[in-house]
Amino acid sequence: MKNEFQVIADLIEKDKKVLDVGCADGTLMKFLKDNKNINIRGLEISKEKVQECIAKGLTVIEGNAEKDLKQFPDKSFDYVVLSQTLQAFLNPELVLDELLRVGKKAIVTIPNFGYWKVRFHLLFKGTMPITKTLPDEWYNTQNLHMCTIKDFFHFIKSKDIKIFKSLALNNLNKSTINQSNLGVKNLFADLGIFLIEK
Amino acid sequence: MNTEKNIKTLIVKKPLKLDCGKTIKDFPIAYETYGSLNSKKDNAILVFHALTGDQFVTGINPVTNKEGWWSYAVGPDKAIDTNKYFVICSNVIGGCMGSYGPSHKDPDQKIFGTNFPVITINDMVNAQYNLLDHFGIDKLFSITGGSMGGMQVLQFISNFPDKSKTVIPIATTSSHSAQNIAFNELGRQAITADSNWKDGNYTSNDTNPGKGLAVARMAAHITYLSKKGLQEKFGRKLQEREDLKFGFDADFQIESYLRYQGSVFVDRFDANSYLYITRAMDYFDLAKQFNGNLSEAFINTNAKFFIISFTSDWLYPTQENKDIVIALNSIGADVGFVEIESDKGHDSFLLDVPNFLSALKNFLDKSYEEN
């Protein structure tokens, strides 16, 4: 399981009710179910991935977060997880609002467009960056609204969203992001992980 | 119509009050079982059949000598694995494969015909509930069925919220739409317009409204298939001829196919049963039973739901299945949902659609492991 999922799992206490939005093949869901006795549900748009989840014995709903989150009642989950998908929605702000409505807390991770490798790629090669967390070409990427850790940090502050924890991840190194080290983390982390609440 | 020797029957002594207000008692429910009930009695799956189905789910149907209607899904090592599970299916009341229906006799020994009480999906599942007592099963492992079978699944868990661990409605709806009612009415009009129907009293002599019933079946059969599926299978191919004949014989293969479907159907199905069962489907509106709030139908159950729809099903389209998912999510129920890609239309659930069958198998087997 990738390090990002381990960090997410560490943020969630045992026996909670969790919704994994864009749960893909259910790797994180399965880990949470087996290791933390989490009452876990998934929402996934890909039919193939939904089948993989079913084969793992996971409860998953085939659907699109932009349309299908609205069916869940307010604060019906302890945590709602969204891993590296926010930038792929037509309207990320609306999805973020929905995550915070449905979940008492939300865990959102974003691939950092401010990461130094991304900046170097664009600066020296002059082409759209391709990195481990941004593996696709500009013409076939799912990503519509790339942002940096700094962008996201300012964005949630401006929306009066409470930040419980903000973590910078670079390979296996995990560190805390705060107002004073934001510039540095924005340069050296390829992933930001935010535990938030509204 | 029935060769009774091959039909297992439970006589329900307990009176059953029907939605129409009448009460029936000492009535037969014809059933079949597959696999064996384990000692803990926790491996039973109650399967509900669709409009023209019967209790003979899999293997050779002893009455028609044809494969059972869900042979692709039910049997040893299949999605519903009879090596593992005990599968029970019964003919719905109002039907014509041994359960109490319009071809039975009334207390005065006169064939009911249209004097049989109008029945509902609710009446069907209340009647079938008696099978649990019969087998001494306190809680089923699962209930499942497609189309009208799915409606019975929804009604059953609503009526008996703690009687099944898992619930699998397939290609169904919680409320018959105007289009659904319209197609059923077309079928009923075809039957009642047949001069042999005689207000439903045809069973007293040798004639029966076979032509009307065949037309009803032909019209319904079109609704079970997709436009793409039909086009790919038949297109404009001609039936055993080089060119058009400038007449009204079956020039096209699709015409010949539909005529065949109609003709074999009348050999195994009773026209009055067709009227009664389509009526039960049309009356089905689960939300209405709960003042318009579908979620209320499921408020008392902790069962795990898995809902399946098919992309090319325009009779009970994905959205109608999703409405059930939405109602369940809004009360925090445990519900999974998948839409299976298939060109085979509503009939997909009866056919060899590998992604459907593997999803069904995985859901059942994984849920059973957690038992």
pLDDT given at position B6? 82
Cβ separation of B337 and A63 shorter than 8 Å? yes
Residues from chain A that touch B332, judged by Cβ atoms under 8 A, are 73, 76
Residue A132 lies in a domain: no
pLDDT given at position B207? 86
Among chain B residues, the shortest Cα distance to A68 is held by B326
How many whole angstroms separate alpha carbon B248 and alpha carbon B244? 10
pLDDT given at position B86? 98
Residues from chain A that touch B363, judged by Cβ atoms under 8 A, are 54
Q: Give the angle subtended at the CA of A194 by the CAs of A92 and A9, to the nearest 5°.
A: 115
Residue A79 lies in a domain: yes
* Cβ-Cβ contacts under 8 Å for B246 (sequence gap 6 or more): none
DSSP helix/strand/coil, A10: helix
Residue A148 lies in a domain: yes
Note whether B101 and B200 are within 8 A (CB). Answer: no
Note whether B340 and B354 are within 8 A (CB). Answer: no
The DSSP 8-state label assigned to residue A198 in this structure reads -
Nearest to B76 by CA among B59, B94, B55: B59
Residue A62 lies in a domain: yes
Cβ separation of A76 and B332 shorter than 8 Å? yes
Mutation pick from B294, B308, B323, B337 vs chain A, by most beta carbons of A within 10 Å, is B337
Mutation pick from A50, A56, A76, A77 vs chain B, by most beta carbons of B within 10 Å, is A50
Among chain B residues, the shortest Cα distance to A67 is held by B326
State how far the alpha carbon of A19 is from the alpha carbons of A72, A76, A164, B313, in Å: 10, 9, 19, 29
How many whole angstroms separate alpha carbon B315 and alpha carbon A56? 31
* Cβ-Cβ contacts under 8 Å for A190 (sequence gap 6 or more): A111, A112, A115, A117, A131, A132, A133, A169, A170, A171
Assess whether pLDDT exceeds 90 at residue B371. no
Out of A57, A58, A62, closest to residue B339 by CB: A62
How many whole angstroms separate alpha carbon A138 and alpha carbon A130? 9
Cβ separation of A54 and B363 shorter than 8 Å? yes
Annotation marks residue B313 as catalytic: yes
Residue A77 sits in a domain whose CATH number is 3.40.50.150
Our CA dihedral for A75, A79, A85, A88, rounded to 10 degrees, sits at 10
Tens-digit pLDDT profile for residues A57-82: 999 999 999 999 999 999 999 999 99
How many whole angstroms separate alpha carbon B70 and alpha carbon B47? 10
Out of A50, A58, A71, closest to residue B330 by CB: A71
How many whole angstroms separate alpha carbon A171 and alpha carbon B133? 60
Q: Can you give the residue range of the structural domain that contains A95?
A: 3-111+139-197
Q: Give the angle subtended at the CA of A105 by the CAs of A99 and A111, to the nearest 5°.
A: 65
Q: How far is A144 from chain B (nearest CA, A)?
A: 26
Q: Which residues of A touch B (CB under 8 A)?
A: 41, 47, 50-51, 54-63, 71-73, 76
Residue A124 lies in a domain: no
Hey, what are A25's tokens? 């093949």
The DSSP 8-state label assigned to residue A161 in this structure reads P
Residue A127 lies in a domain: no
Residues from chain B that touch A72, judged by Cβ atoms under 8 A, are 329-330
Assess whether pLDDT exceeds 80 at residue B4. no
Tens-digit pLDDT profile for residues B318-368: 999 999 999 999 999 999 999 999 999 999 999 999 999 999 999 999 999
Among the listed residues B54, B142, B346, B348, the single catalytic one is B346
Cβ separation of B337 and A62 shorter than 8 Å? yes
Hey, what are B309's tokens? 């729809």
Out of A57, A62, A72, closest to residue B338 by CB: A62
Q: How far is A161 from chain B (nearest CA, A)?
A: 25
Question: SS3 letters for chain B?
Answer: CCCHHHCEEEEECCCEECCCCCEECCEEEEEEEECCCCCCCCCEEEECCCCCCCCCCCCECCCCCCECCCCCCEECCCCEECCCCEEEEECCCCCCCCCCCCCCECCCCCECHHHCCCCCHHHHHHHHCHHHHHHCCCCEEEEEEECHHHHHHHHHHHHCCCCEEEEEEECCCCECCHHHHHHHHHHHHHHHHCCCCHHHCHHHCCCCCHHHHHHHHHHHHHHHCCHHHHHHHCCCCECCCCCCCCCCCCCEHHHHHHHHHHHHHHHHCCHHHHHHHHHHHHHCECHHHHCCCHHHHHCCCCCEEEEEEECCCCCCCHHHHHHHHHHHHCCCCEEEEEEECCCCHHHHHHCCCHHHHHHHHHHHHHHHHCC
Give the position of tokens 């045992």: A14
Nearest to B87 by CA among B143, B136, B129, B134: B143
Please name each of the domains of chain B with its CATH number. Answer: 4-176+286-369 (3.40.50.1820), 180-278 (1.10.1740.110)
Nearest to B154 by CA among B296, B58, B365: B296
Note whether B154 and B172 are within 8 A (CB). Answer: yes
Phi, psi (rounded to 5 degrees) for B253 = -60, -35
pLDDT given at position B2? 44
Give the position of tokens 């209607």: B69
Among chain A residues, the shortest Cα distance to B338 is held by A62
How many whole angstroms separate alpha carbon B304 and alpha carbon B169? 11
pLDDT given at position A133? 86
pLDDT given at position A172? 83
In the beta sheet, which residues pair with residue B98? none
With pLDDT > 70 as the criterion, what percentage of chain B qualifies? 98
Annotation marks residue B175 as catalytic: no
State how far the alpha carbon of B170 is from the alpha carbons of B44, B133, B306, in Å: 18, 26, 9
Among chain A residues, the shortest Cα distance to B360 is held by A54
- pTM here? 0.95
Cβ separation of A59 and B304 shorter than 8 Å? yes
Q: How far is A60 from chain B (nearest CA, A)?
A: 5
Out of B322, B330, B336, closest to residue A73 by CB: B330
Among chain B residues, the shortest Cα distance to A71 is held by B326
B3 vs A23, more confident: A23
Residue A175 lies in a domain: yes
Q: Give the angle subtended at the CA of B340 by the CAs of B354 and B159, to the nearest 5°.
A: 105
Tens-digit pLDDT profile for residues B60-84: 999 889 999 999 999 999 999 999 9
Cβ separation of A57 and B330 shorter than 8 Å? no
How many whole angstroms separate alpha carbon B111 and alpha carbon B208? 14
Cβ separation of A71 and B335 shorter than 8 Å? no
Among chain A residues, the shortest Cα distance to B357 is held by A51
Note whether B156 and B164 are within 8 A (CB). Answer: yes
Annotation marks residue B147 as catalytic: yes
B300 vs B371, more confident: B300
Among chain A residues, the shortest Cα distance to B295 is held by A71
Note whether B262 and B217 are within 8 A (CB). Answer: yes
Residues from chain A that touch B366, judged by Cβ atoms under 8 A, are 54-57
Cβ separation of A51 and B359 shorter than 8 Å? yes
Out of A57, A73, A76, closest to residue B366 by CB: A57
Among the listed residues B147, B158, B164, B312, the single catalytic one is B147
pLDDT given at position B339? 98
Assess whether pLDDT exceeds 80 at residue B203. no
Tens-digit pLDDT profile for residues B132-180: 999 999 999 999 999 999 999 999 999 999 999 999 999 999 999 999 9
Helices and strands, counts by H and E, chain A: 8, 8
Other CB atoms within 10 A of residue A54 CB: 23
Among the listed residues B251, B270, B282, B313, the single catalytic one is B313
pLDDT given at position B5? 67
> Which ipTM score applies to this complex?
0.93
Residues from chain B that touch A23, judged by Cβ atoms under 8 A, are none
Residues from chain B that touch A103, judged by Cβ atoms under 8 A, are none
How many whole angstroms separate alpha carbon A90 and alpha carbon B143? 39
Tens-digit pLDDT profile for residues A16-57: 999 999 999 999 999 999 999 999 999 999 999 999 999 999
State how far the alpha carbon of A11 is from the alpha carbons of A84, A95, A173, B87, B309, in Å: 16, 21, 16, 44, 36
Assess whether pLDDT exceeds 60 at residue B105. yes
User: What average pLDDT score do residues A130-159 get?
Assistant: 94
pLDDT given at position B204? 58
Q: How far is A106 from chain B (nearest CA, A)?
A: 18
User: What average pLDDT score do residues B244-264 get?
Assistant: 95
Report how many domains make up chain A.
Answer: 1
A107 burial level (CB within 10 Å; 0-12, 13-18, 19+)? buried
Assess whether pLDDT exceeds 60 at residue B1. no
Q: How far is A54 from chain B (nearest CA, A)?
A: 6
